[in-house]
Structure 1
Amino acid sequence: MNQVKTINWGIVGAGHIAQRFAQGIAHVREARIARVWSRRAQSVDGFVARFGGQPCARFDDVLASDIDAVYIATLNDSHAEYACAALSAGKHVLCEKPATLNLRQLEGVLDTARASQRLFMEAMKPPFFPLYRKLREHLRTAPIGPVGLVRAGCSVANVPADHPSFSLAEGGGALLDIGIYEMFLAVDWLGAPLDVQTFGRLGPTGVDTFASVHSRHEGGYAQLFCGLDTDGKGDALLAGPLGHVAIHEKWWNPVRATISYVDGRLVELHEPFEGGGLNYETEHFCELIREGALESPVMTHAKSRQMISMTDAARASLGLRFPGE
């Protein structure tokens, strides 16, 4: 029997999302944490004590090691910089959403990945969850027809005032921290955006605290909302001519969906997940490395382009620009 290559990971950032990644990697076959670095050095020792790996004093030390891949779990403003550095050093990169602040930065990252012949993927978790995959499979055999409407939204009212989501300098705001998930849902079912209209508001720190986005796509229309100052439900709707799907709260960590057909049929899907959920995208990424792939067929570079172009358009409507743009 052929031996499966172990994928050695370097983790950049040691905050909440990095910890979720580390919890999940225990559920991924032949994958291990090898190196850990964070700008907040005091957080690394506790992370390593809990999840393993070797602490690094510098980001360059991570890149100089014999790791295979880098997981970037830092704040939004630094994603492009770290991704380009890691790719240029010959490492594959799985980067937390949003992959970059804007389309210009994303094109720079993808150019670097192409030049380095390394795999790059935005860590957009929903399509890898068991429920989402089960839903796709079910709709292939019992379709609701072409999906023509996607409706999704989530708004969180109790975000602490000192949270990075409120930081303009660090690329915060509802659109990039929450809305990017909904942009994914729209492009995944409806295709490329053709027109984006946005209403919303900016908060005292200059980031968007609420946005309502209406978009026209190749396959239909999307109604999306996201916010940091309003409490709003986190479910989603996919509608076609033969029925509709309700992906129940929290749809981005999907467990349950109800499919209602116009002929009266009702189908309930229930697919629990393990390991916190990030393990599924990590497993996929590791398999792509073993196959020598340079792009995911599920979370494609085109989808990342389409998603960030939607947030670019939405931010432009609200007059939101990040430092350096």
Structure 2
Amino acid sequence: MIRFGIIGCGRISHRFMQGLKAVEGAELTAAWSRRAESVEHFVTQYGGKACASLDELLESDIDAVYIATLPDTHAFYSIAALNAGKHVLCEKPATVNLAQLDEVLRVAREKKLLFMEGMKPPFFPLYRKLKEYLETDPIGEVGYVRAGSSVADLSQDHPNFSYELIGGGIMQILPYEAFLALDWLGPMTDIQTMGRFSGKEVDMFAIIQAQHQGGYAQLYCGFDMHGKGDALIAGTLGHITIHKNWWNPAKATISYLDGRTVEIDEPYTAGGLNYETAHFCELIRNGQTESPIITHELSRGMMAMLDKARAQVGLRFEGE
């Protein structure tokens, strides 16, 4: 049994618990948040012990922590948990910048513990089935990825609009698109970004063109326009459309140069976070300290794209 402690009891932690209930051999043991009332409500709903402090959580009988806070605290809590001897599954983006991530990874290596960024798409049944199908019916060499999302209906008090909490489209949405580009095209070699702030302290819309070892990516992210949320992956023999919302993939269409069309439908259960959580638990059982799917180098590549995109639109956070 993998015993989890949760740091942060906001929106994403409830989605995590929806998934955790579907993961065999894993349970919630303890929870802590800076807001005591949210912890009490959380454990009343899901079980486990309500901890009065971070130290109490990290000293409790847990194997791993899931960090469900906003990105401003990801590095601090990850390092604290690793130093306490706990494995870490941390929400995306893993840290504020690459320098912070490298420090987290240094501590993980030193402590010989598992650190994994929570990047859910590759663990969904649709994404796995798509990759498996292409092994025998490929679309040729992939050279182009287009993906993005712009969500225009968030309330104005949403933390995605907060400078202090590391908001903005680049930090909150681009990690998904960066993953997709890196997964299909390999390491980034160049990037060009344009973005606007629309009266906020953080970017409200950005477009990114990236060159990778395998080709080109065109990506977008934002909070003041309504974007479609699908993804296109193009190769020499065909292209794939992962239908919206592509980061919670359930349906894909493969269109081949010879006129064939293949539809892949693979619904997901329990909200979708259960798949990455099950993978994380299996890594712990196998004594592994790095995911072969969300590798440390992949997380570094995603963070490097975010760093360079932010630099090009002129967004620096406190302390950078």
Kindly indicate whether residue 185 of structure 2 is the aligned counterpart of residue 193 of structure 1.
no
Letter matched to residue 274 of structure 1: T
Kindly indicate whether residue 258 of structure 2 is the aligned counterpart of residue 260 of structure 1.
no
Letter matched to residue 113 of structure 1: A
Conserved? CA contact 1:70–1:91, under 8 Å? yes
Q: Shift in Å at residue 159 of structure 1?
A: 1.3
Q: In the aligned structure 1, how far is the partner of 2:259 from the partner of 2:171?
A: 38
1:211 matched residue in structure 2: 206
Conserved? CA contact 1:182–1:224, under 8 Å? yes
Q: In the aligned structure 1, how far is the partner of 2:52 from the partner of 2:75?
A: 21
Q: Shift in Å at residue 171 of structure 1?
A: 0.6
Q: 2:312 aligns with which of 295, 314, 317?
A: 317
Q: TM-score, normalised by structure 2?
A: 0.99
Q: In the aligned structure 1, how far is the partner of 2:47 from the partner of 2:53?
A: 17
Conserved? CA contact 1:9–1:67, under 8 Å? yes
Q: In the aligned structure 1, how far is the partner of 2:254 from the partner of 2:174?
A: 24
What residue ranges of structure 1 are gaps of 5+ in the alignment?
1-5
Equivalent position SS for 2:204: strand
Q: In the aligned structure 2, how far is the partner of 1:266 from the partner of 1:226?
A: 29
Q: Shift in Å at residue 204 of structure 1?
A: 2.6
Kindly indicate whether residue 50 of structure 2 is the aligned counterpart of residue 81 of structure 1.
no
Q: Shift in Å at residue 261 of structure 1?
A: 0.2
Kindly indicate whether residue 259 of structure 2 is the aligned counterpart of residue 276 of structure 1.
no
Q: In the aligned structure 2, how far is the partner of 1:173 from the partner of 1:180?
A: 12
Kindly indicate whether residue 209 of structure 2 is the aligned counterpart of residue 221 of structure 1.
no
Deviations 1:265-318 (CA, angstroms, capped at 9, x unpaired): 100000000110000000000000000000000010111000010010000000
Q: In the aligned structure 2, how far is the partner of 1:54 from the partner of 1:66?
A: 10
What residue ranges of structure 2 are gaps of 5+ in the alignment?
none
RMSD of aligned residue pairs (Cα, Å): 0.6
2:133 matched residue in structure 1: 138
Q: 2:147 aligns with which of 149, 152, 157?
A: 152
Letter matched to residue 6 of structure 2: I
Q: In the aligned structure 2, how far is the partner of 1:40 from the partner of 1:184?
A: 32
Equivalent position SS for 1:216: strand
- Matched residue pairs, number? 320
Q: In the aligned structure 2, how far is the partner of 1:318 from the partner of 1:161?
A: 22
1:3 matched residue in structure 2: none
Conserved? CA contact 1:23–1:51, under 8 Å? no
Q: In the aligned structure 1, how far is the partner of 2:156 from the partner of 2:142?
A: 38
Q: 1:166 aligns with which of 157, 161, 164?
A: 161
Q: TM-score, normalised by structure 1?
A: 0.98
**Deviant stretches of 4+, over 6 Å:** none
Deviations 1:76-98 (CA, angstroms, capped at 9, x unpaired): 10000000000111100000000
Letter matched to residue 152 of structure 1: A
Instruction: State, as a whole percentage, how many aligned pairs show the same letter.
Output: 61
Equivalent position SS for 2:128: helix
Deviations 1:219-272 (CA, angstroms, capped at 9, x unpaired): 110000000111111000000000000000000000000000000110000000
Q: In the aligned structure 1, how far is the partner of 2:3 from the partner of 2:200?
A: 39
1:109 matched residue in structure 2: 104
Deviations 1:44-76 (CA, angstroms, capped at 9, x unpaired): 111111111110000111110120000000011
Q: In the aligned structure 2, how far is the partner of 1:94 from the partner of 1:138?
A: 29
1:26 matched residue in structure 2: 21
Q: In the aligned structure 1, how far is the partner of 2:226 from the partner of 2:37?
A: 34
